[in-house]
Amino acid sequence: MTPRAENHCPSWLARLTGRWISDFRSHFAAQRSSQTRLGPRIALILAVAGMAILADWTIKTLVVEGLSNGSSIDLGFINIKLAYNPGIAFSLGSWLPPTVVTIGTGIIISGGFILLVLRARTLNAVSTAGAALLLGGALGNFIDRLDGQGVVDYFHTGWFATFNLADALITVGVVLLAVGLFTNGPRQTKWATDSSDHDAMHRPRATDTIIGVDRRDDSATSH
């Protein structure tokens, strides 16, 4: 009777499988650590945006209650005067239907927030502040236009479009976000490139592992 061959896992396959499991665990742990660090940053952005929305809503409420009779407050270089803007920031797109403007801005804000969450870990302090102000200003105007009357504007210069605090926050936020991304981008990219190059140089490839194990097994067999 021919003896039955033992069914056992080759040593090189066992080692390779163990290495893959170890790499997967390390990757999963790194992802969880990254998400843990990401949470407080998103919370900070939402907190600053919430305060911006509150400040914008408070000023708009005071303006509507105090200047609905057509009166204004003269501050010299600028006047506070009630106006309604059916368009987007700085009266742009005022000729569009209010429903189109509302849906369009909602889609833009939603897409921007998703992008913000995905890119939050790469933002520095400047771009984080810009993102928070931009989000707060955009949401402030979006909430204001939900009643169908348009956004409440009150800063009137006579030589520029009438605007509000939310418009100013959006402008400052865009500038800070752009400056932060511009100053942080090259360093972040270089760090990521150097890190990936370093890992690629020092990480053993699966084929090298298999070949190395095969050679050791062959050597052990020959002896």
Among 56, 74, 144, 167, which one carries the catalytic annotation? 167
Among 153, 194, 199, 208, which one carries the catalytic annotation? 153
Q: What's the burial of 89, exposed, middle or buried (CB within 10 Å: 0-12/13-18/19+)?
A: buried
Cα 16 to Cα 20: distance, rounded to the nearest angstrom: 6
The tally of CA atoms less than 13 A away on the side-chain side of residue 83 is: 20
194 belongs to the catalytic site: no
Backbone angles phi, psi at 94, to 5 degrees: -70, -15
Longest dimension (CA), the chain: 110
| Length of the chain counted residue by residue | 223
Positions marked active-site: 153, 167
